[in-house]
């Protein structure tokens, strides 16, 4: 289904690169059928070409009629310019995927053609190695075969969850932004390892393996995080001391707030774009 498709990323930043890397590594789609374009950064396109074997194409040289799937991958504040730019070149039956946080399918539909095939997508940067947790929510007019095609494409970069669009904000707070919380946690754990005299590279690998192990326990065993946490925690032992410190310092609340605020920001972006306030708020 993917082999003869041509895919163009409009936006060639971090998220586009993560997806390109995962797609190329999957081997499910030939690299030369993946195109990336941006506003002006030619050096960036050249780097993507040489690193992944894809085609970096200047916007003015993009042949819209030869592209099956467009992936919008610019910042939300740039979406209006991008939609204005592409509208006159695309047809309603061309599939538009958008990875933009907070930009709704209704907004995309209002600003493209009647009947435009759109799917809102929320991947994360673990797409790079085929380990994303990606959500999809199709637009109101999107044909089932295009939803299926989207799912097949995104399964090349990890697990795919079809969700209702009202749940996209919380999904973004959990999984789109989620890797950053774990990196933040790792940064702080790493500092302590180094402070205690461990080598930084060794510390990093120890922490990474600890996180991988904990995540795989959830995936492979039918046990809740609460039960697994209790299994680690001996009465009056080391873990109890660590967890007490987390509680005393608001660790649990901080994690809840991180997810809540990220989801809230996603919702806020949706509201601001409708009121045309986004460009000012996200310079």
Ligand X SMILES: NC(=O)C1=CN([C@@H]2O[C@H](COP(=O)(O)OP(=O)(O)OC[C@H]3O[C@@H](n4cnc5c(N)ncnc54)[C@H](OP(=O)(O)O)[C@@H]3O)[C@@H](O)[C@H]2O)C=CC1
Ligand Y SMILES: O=C(O)[C@@H]1CCC=N1
Give contact residues for ligand X (rule: CB under 6 A). Answer: 10-16, 37-41, 73-76, 78, 81-82, 85, 99-101, 122-125, 176
Tokens coding 174:
């959990």
Radius of gyration of the chain (CA): 21
What is the residue whose two structure tokens read 């995540």?
215
Q: Which does residue 14 touch among ligand Y, ligand X, none (CB within 5 to 8 A, set by kind)?
A: ligand X
Q: Which does residue 274 touch among ligand Y, ligand X, none (CB within 5 to 8 A, set by kind)?
A: none
Residue nearest to ligand X (CB): 13
Closest to ligand X by CB, 103 or 149: 103
**What's the min distance (Å) between Cβ of 8 and ligand Y?**
21
What is the residue whose two structure tokens read 């946690």?
185
Closest to ligand X by CB, 40 or 234: 40
Q: Does the protein bind ligand Y through residue 132 (CB under 6 A)?
A: no
Distance between CA atoms of residues 240 and 161, nearest Å = 35
Binding residue count for ligand Y, defined by CB under 6 A: 4
Which one among 94, 105, 137, 177 touches ligand Y, defined by CB under 6 A?
177
**What's the min distance (Å) between Cβ of 123 and ligand Y?**
9
Q: Please check whether residue 136 is in contact with residue 150, taking contact to mean a CB–CB distance below 8 angstroms.
A: yes
**What's the min distance (Å) between Cβ of 101 and ligand Y?**
4
Tokens coding 236:
């009056």
Tokens coding 122:
């929320």
**What's the min distance (Å) between Cβ of 40 and ligand X?**
4
Site for ligand Y in 63-102 (CB under 6 A): 101
**What's the min distance (Å) between Cβ of 47 and ligand X?**
11
Please name the residues in contact with 259: beta carbons below 8 A apart, sequence gap of 6 or more. 170, 173, 174, 181
Please name the residues in contact with 69: beta carbons below 8 A apart, sequence gap of 6 or more. 5, 6, 7, 8, 94, 95, 96, 97, 149, 153
1: nearest Cα among 73, 68, 70: 68
**What's the min distance (Å) between Cβ of 238 and ligand Y?**
34
Closest to ligand Y by CB, 19 or 101: 101
Q: Which does residue 136 touch among ligand Y, ligand X, none (CB within 5 to 8 A, set by kind)?
A: none
Closest to ligand X by CB, 157 or 203: 157
Closest to ligand X by CB, 182 or 206: 182
What angle do the packed helices 251-274 and 178-195 form, to 10 degrees? Answer: 150
Q: What φ, ψ does residue 54 adopt, rounded to 5°?
A: -85, -175
Task: Write out the residues near ligand Y by the rule CB under 6 A.
Answer: 101, 172, 176-177
């Amino acid at each position: 289904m993917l082999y003869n498709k041509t895919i163009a990323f409009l936006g060639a930043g971090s998220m586009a690169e993560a997806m390109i890397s995962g797609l190329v590594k999957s081997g499910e789609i030939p690299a030369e059928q993946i195109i990336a374009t941006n506003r002006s950064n030619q050096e960036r396109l050249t780097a993507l070409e040489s690193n992944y074997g894809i085609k970096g194409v200047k916007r003015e040289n993009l042949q819209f009629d030869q592209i099956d799937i467009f992936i919008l991958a610019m910042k939300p504040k740039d979406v209006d310019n991008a939609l204005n730019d592409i509208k006159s070149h695309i047809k309603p039956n061309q599939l538009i995927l958008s990875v933009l946080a907070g930009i709704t399918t209704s907004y995309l539909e209002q600003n493209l053609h009647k009947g435009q095939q759109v799917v809102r997508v929320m991947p994360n940067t673990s797409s790079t190695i085929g380990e994303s947790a990606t959500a999809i929510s199709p637009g109101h007019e999107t044909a089932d075969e295009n939803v299926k095609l989207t799912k097949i494409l995104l399964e090349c970069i990890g697990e795919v969850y079809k969700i209702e669009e009202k749940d996209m904000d919380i999904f973004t707070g959990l999984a789109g932004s989620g890797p950053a919380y774990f990196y933040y946690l790792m940064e702080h754990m790493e500092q302590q390892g180094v402070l205690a005299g461990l080598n930084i590279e060794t510390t990093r690998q120890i922490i990474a393996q600890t996180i991988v192990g904990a995540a795989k326990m959830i995936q492979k065993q039918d046990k809740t995080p609460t039960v697994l946490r209790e299994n680690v925690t001996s009465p009056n032992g080391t873990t109890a001391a660590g967890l007490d410190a987390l509680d005393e310092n608001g660790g649990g609340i901080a994690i809840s707030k991180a997810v809540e605020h990220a989801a809230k920001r996603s919702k806020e972006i949706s509201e601001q774009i409708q009121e045309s306030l986004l460009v000012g708020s996200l310079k």
